[in-house]
Every structure is written in structure tokens, then in C-alpha cells.
Structure 1
């Protein structure tokens, strides 16, 4: 765990409101998610809100309209929150979206560094067979992320589970 935290502390500690971290897969914050014009310019067709129902992340199907498919994950950015129960369903949603022609997916939370990053890391581990460290390094090429320690432990458990099969 200490090695993962060391890697996460490295690199730039600032970023854009939204960054493409994998082909057609973006991680962003609330500011990016709330700017429909920016999303339209980026060609975003699907939004995963990893802070669904949160005070500043109140996106919904109604907010985005019929041009953007919406998926809400009501996660708290707390080390004790069980984000792992959303790893596979969210990864399936992202992959299904990316399988469609011209799809572009935004995964966001409040700051775009913990909840959304954790779900994207899980996606990369599940569908692209990255190790946790490999997924972190790949995302960090494009965006500074910092999943909380509880999410890191859950991602480590996911890695162990994936390598058992």
C-alpha cells in the first residue's frame, strides 16, 4: 500500500477539469460535468456520476437530456464506503458504452481524483487486464489522481480477485 501511495504522490498535483485518460474515456470534476456546452464540444455521449446525489454533483438524466446517457453511482468519498460493489457494474457500463461507435464517456465526481478515478482504475483492471499499479501509472500519464486509502484497499482486493481466476 505504501508503494501505491508513493506513486500517487508523484507527478503533477494539478490538472484540468477534465482529461482523456484512455481512448474516449475521460475523468473529470463537477465543474466539467455541469458544463453541457463543454461536454458537447468534447463529444461526450455517456456520463458516469460517481457522486450521484451529492450536494454538488446533482447530475441526472433530466439535466443532460436525451443526447447523453447517464449512469449514477451514489458513492461517498469516505475510506469506509464500499465502492467495490460498483466496480463491475460500472466497468460493464463503461465498456458497453465504449463498444458503441463514436461513444465518449466522462466519469466524474466532485474533484475528479478519488471516486471517479477509482472506478476508472477498476474498469482498466477488469476490461484491459492492467495491474493496479499499471492502471494508476497509465491514468497518471494524463491526470493527477488520488483515491482514498479505503478505495485503494478495495482496488487491491479487486486485483487479487482478478488474478485468482
Structure 2
């Protein structure tokens, strides 16, 4: 679905009131995730040149090579998570960015939205680049960062981003991350409304 700034968003039930977009409630966003046909493989393409995967995909250099992955964003970086890092990918030409996040609702992922989104955008500026965004299971931390990227740099609403990503992979940001994404959605939509 093509992105772009919006002043008015679609039909009833899509987060609109009087034709003006409003961030949907968490329960409505969860329903969107549950009703999509995405898979839960080790590595799934969720957007052109963007993949979401788990720790097994991240540690399988053959699979990464076969999919021509050039950039890895680890949303579960660190010694007690998926401890890969740039050294792990030495000799592969893969560029690495790590976010040391815990998959608990109390963890504040919001400070990482901008840097992670910028890493993905920078990677995709090369027409041959492909990005793997992963965590342990590839459902909560990694999907949260991909959703934030789509909202920040592709001007998607949170509802649209969830529809797009969950069509390619089963995703389930934890309740805290979903609330943080709702906050980002409200902030970005407020900015768009001021420009209209």
C-alpha cells in the first residue's frame, strides 16, 4: 500500500471519526494482527527488501547469503539475548545495528524507534540492499521496530503498517510496545494534521 501524508483516512472502522484519522484502540489493533494470514517461519519478507525473522535466521549465515541480506538489525542484542554483533558477521559484508531491548511491557522501546528506522532507511537507499530485522522469535521486538520504520519514513498509520506487516508474518508486539506505537502514531498524525 503506497504511503504518503494523509489528512483524511478511509472507511468507518479504520480509526476514523468524522473523516479524521484517530489512533485505534489496542484491542482493534490486536484484532488486525490476529486476522491476517502471515506465517511464523524463521525468515519472512514483510515489505519489499525487508524481512522479519528469529534468532535462528540471524545466526544462519547460509540463509542470509541465500536471501542476499546486506543489513541486520538485531532488536534483541546483548549477552543475554541474541549475542551476535558486528564481529559475528565479519567476512560477510553484512552491516549490523543492535538494540539491546527486553521483551517486557515495561521496557521503553520508543527511544530506539528513530535510530532503528534510520538504519533501515539508510540500508534501503541502496537498490540492492535487503534488511533482516530480528529478535528471539521474530514477533514482538523486531516487528515493533519495522512498524515504527513504516510509520516514520513511509508515512503509514499504525493500522496500515500492521495490516502490511502481518500479511507477511505473524506479529505480536507486547502490550507495552503496542502502547508506545500508539503514542508514536498519535504524534505523527498530529504533525500531519497541522500540515494539512
TM-score by length of 2: 0.81
Q: Name the residue aligned to 1:77.
A: 103
The question of 1:36 aligning with 2:64 is answered no
Q: Name the residue aligned to 2:42.
A: 17
Name the SS for the 2:90 alignment partner: helix
Cα distance in structure 2, aligned partners of 1:100 and 1:158: 27
Q: Name the residue aligned to 1:98.
A: 124
Report the CA distance between 1:56 and its aligned residue: 4.5
User: Does the CA-based 8 Å contact 1:54-1:74 persist in structure 2?
Assistant: no
Report the CA distance between 1:10 and its aligned residue: 2.2
Runs of 4+ in 1 over 4 A off after TM superposition: none
Identify which of 58, 77, 82 aligns with 2:83.
Answer: 58
Aligned residues: 165
Cα distance in structure 2, aligned partners of 1:98 and 1:140: 20
CA-based RMSD: 1.2
User: Does the CA-based 8 Å contact 2:107-2:176 persist in structure 1?
Assistant: yes
Report the CA distance between 1:13 and its aligned residue: 7.2
Cα distance in structure 1, aligned partners of 2:127 and 2:39: 32
Instruction: Return 5+ residue gaps in structure 1 as ranges.
Output: none
Greater per-residue helix proportion: 1
Identify which of 138, 145, 159 aligns with 1:119.
Answer: 145
Report the CA distance between 1:89 and its aligned residue: 0.7
Larger radius of gyration, structure 1 or 2? Answer: 2
